[in-house]
Amino acid sequence: MKTLFFGLFVIVLLPNAIAQDFVSGIVQDEFEFPLEGAEIYWQEDPGYKVYTNTEGEFKIALLDQAKNLVVRYSGFSTYRFEATSTQQDYIIELSTSENLAEVVLSIVPQTTFRKKSSTINSLIMHEDELKKAACCNLSESFETNATVDVRYSDAILGSRQVNMLGLNSPYLYASKNSLPIARGASQAFGLAFIPGTWVDKIEVTSGVNSVADGFEAIAGQIDVSFKEPDPEEPLFVNIFASEDARFEANVHFNQKVAKDLNTSLFIHGSTRTAENDRNKDQFLDSPIGEQLNLLNSWSFTPKESNLRGQLNLNFVNDRKQSGEVGFSPSQHQLGNEVWGAEIKTQKMDVDTDWLYQLSEENKSFFEFKAAFRYHDQESYYGQRSFDIEHKHWVSKLTYETLLPKTEHRFLAGIQYMRDDFEEVVDFQGLSQFSRTDHNLGGFAEYTHKFNHKLSLTSGIRLDYHNQIGVFALPKMHLKYQLFDQTLIKASAGRGRRIANVFAENQRFMASNRSFTIPSSNETNNGKIYGLEAEDAWTFGINIQQDFEIFERCGELIIDAYSTQFSNQVVVDLDQSAQQVVFYNLEGKSFSNILQIDVNYNLIDHLNFRGSYKHYQVKTDFISGRLFQPLQPENRAFVNLSYQLNNKNEEKTWKFDATYNWTGKQRLPFTSSNSEANQLAEFSNPFSTVNTQITKLFSEKFEVYLGLENVFNYQQENPILGADNPFGSEFDASLIYAPIFGRMLYVGLRYSL
């Protein structure tokens, strides 16, 4: 252990023993709005790159023999200038250009970067990161990312769940433009209703988020930003097909309606038609079905006005079907001859965002956001049916400003949220569950920059919830620049949420386990389904160390997080293999995680990302303190990205490969089953490899070919009792590894 700490001490301190000069500045547009994520690099050494932060600021090391700085930002002309002064900040103003004729050196751009200027530990994933894999929807967008874990939740409908800090997706706050998008009825499948081609960027926050983003985040936040209407790209087409007979088409139309008014229409259609049963257990390995998804966006951006706004209208019609081979809904629905499952979902979202700038000098503004979301699901699993209707309203008004003659930031606001739930649970004598939730909250947050090294963000949120009562949520973020190349962040904060036990645990309906809850319909004294609201504190520390080896730049990142529950809705699978029991925590429940990431430019045009994660996720169950089931204790990740060195960057090849290793996982109690349907205490470790090749024929046309699960690893016996699906031992919810095996896919992207 002493050797480990000494090694970390050397890694952190050694690069700072050598003084280094930096060139710094600000990148902004023609109207002096800062441009976040602009790419900065030396023409003489394009492999070394930095990116601007949310304020448009950058700082890049002054290299020997390098003097020409290149600034690039999508949709703007490339800017190149001679930068040799380290005594002043350069103000760089980019202008839009329809013809980006300037030739710059071919490089492999980083598709993810960390917001080092912010006190919050956040990672930005750009659109190009999603293009590295078959990211057909948002739930599939994290295969090349080590911060978010992705796993299948059941063997019937193949839905993917995203986890963070060792906690399941309900503890992760998923949002669009800071307003919630996957909660309540949408929690299980909501991310799958966001096509990957609609996404402009994703911001992943580990642990504690801002008080302005609600009270429900415990493990972190995923905030997605959609592409805005862009008349410069009137048409975009993406076609995708995979070996499992999955076909998808995305078509984007963009148009300028008036001088300051643009609109877009995004159309997504997908279908899977073939019945795949590679493991010959007589159950489909992946569901069949179809989806139609429409998005109409309007953006109002007058150049001479301080007011900007956007309106989005989204409609989804989705159907999934799975079960035994040969199952027909018209013949076998809810019967006892052929087991099948079907989910029909209709979803409608309307959201708007308006910003009014009060003072350009102090960067002060008011912002109003509002959304209405309607989710209607009708479903059945074998002889069990589950229907849910969820209406969600949310509105938020925020004021933000920089205090005069300081770099201190202050924001405050108020938020109202309402949820109407109607659930019909038709099995085990359970029936209808109805409730209405109201929440009114106020928040304030202050960021104090003590000096150029130390910043502190302190926030407080006070909420009234008709089911929970009044509660306060304090949150704190600290950033300290220990050395020029060493950044330390720390955070602490509280989160609370109500568990929707049926909607969030639909995967257990794909089994014959009985559901045991404390009360059929108790919503008094802060209890829903007879269960109290969940409550947890999350603490974290993040160390970011830049380094240089063999004249190539790299980054070492160490994350340590701990989540401590004072109350939790425990999902207990260990009482019996025929039962899932829900009850409030009596004792302790915690998640501790250590994550070490290394990012390094191995050679010109070849980037390496590696990660190792160790989890300690334990809960005091009725049977004692145990590891959470189906949660690996260890994970490892490697991603390699290579772009062929080509003088014409618009006509080149890109290669991506991702390796994921998953350690052993505790499996739930199954000893009460017959011997054929009993599982071992732990699963075996396994690994998967995904690869993709992309050929760019021009700036507007590219094709890609990929292979998932190259070495064809499959979970053995994924469905217990598959030979008797109406028997007591049937269980399709215990999934810890891939089911389908190796899969080939192909696609193309075209734009005008």
Interval 505-542: pLDDT, tens: 999 999 999 999 987 555 556 678 889 999 999 999 99
Which helix (H) or strand (E) segment is 386 a member of?
strand 384-402
The domain covering 149-751 belongs, at the CATH homologous superfamily level, to TonB-dependent receptor, beta-barrel domain (2.40.170.20)
CA dist 324 to 336, 384, 506, 614, 743, Å? 12, 15, 18, 38, 21
pTM above 0.75, yes or no: yes
Alpha-helix residue ranges (DSSP H) falling in 88-216: 127-130
d(CA 586, CA 217): 22
Q: What is the pLDDT of residue 15?
A: 44
Return the domain boundaries, the chain.
21-105, 149-751
pLDDT single digits (tens) 350-404: 999 999 988 766 678 999 999 999 999 999 999 999 999 999 999 999 999 988 7
Interior angle at CA 237, CA 236 and CA 240, nearest 5: 150
Task: Please state which CATH class domain 21-105 belongs to.
Answer: mainly beta
Hey, what amino acid is at 607?
N
Tokens 């490089």, residue located: 107
Q: Are 344 and 333 in contact (CB under 8 A)?
A: no
State whether residue 506 is helix, strand or coil.
Answer: helix
Q: How do residues 428-445 score in pLDDT, each as one tens digit?
A: 777 888 999 999 999 999
- pLDDT score recorded for residue 217: 95
10 Å CB burial of residue 259 (0-12, 13-18, 19+) is exposed
Per the CB < 8 A criterion, the answer to whether 467 and 417 are in contact is no
What pLDDT score does 103 carry? 27
- Residues 76-101 have a mean pLDDT of 65
Return the ∠ at Cα 632 (arms to 627 and 637), rounded to 5°.
155
Judge if 21-105 and 149-751 fold alike in CATH terms: no
Alpha-carbon span 38 to 26, nearest angstrom: 10
DSSP 8-class letter at 259: T
3-class SS of residue 57: strand
Neighbours of 323 (CB within 10 A): 26
Lowest mean pLDDT among 228-242, 357-371, 643-657, 698-712: 643-657
On whether the CB atoms of residues 314 and 349 are closer than 8 A, the answer is yes
pLDDT digits (tens, 9 = 90+) for 201-233: 999 999 999 999 999 999 999 999 999 998 989
Q: Would you state the pLDDT for residue 266? A: 98
pLDDT given for residue 644 in this prediction: 85
Do residues 341 and 379 lie in contact, with contact meaning Cβ atoms separated by under 8 Å? Answer: yes
Q: How large is the greatest C-alpha to C-alpha distance in the chain, in angstroms?
A: 79
Residue of higher predicted confidence among 579 and 605: 579
Three-class SS of residue 217?
coil
Sign of the alpha-carbon dihedral angle for 214, 217, 221, 225: negative
The pair of structure tokens assigned to 358 is 């009060």
587 Rama sector, left if φ>0, alpha if ψ -120 to 50, beta otherwise: left
At a CB cut-off of 8 Å and minimum separation 6, what does 162 contact? 139, 142, 148, 149, 150, 169, 172, 191, 222
Length of the chain: 752
Q: Which residues contact 722 (CB under 8 A, 6 or more apart)?
A: 281, 282, 283, 730, 732
Tokens of 7: 């090694």
Mean pLDDT of the chain: 88
Is the distance from CB of 539 to CB of 562 less than 8 angstroms? yes
Alpha-carbon distance of 539 to 546, in angstroms, equals 24
The CA distance from 593 to 150, in Å, is 16
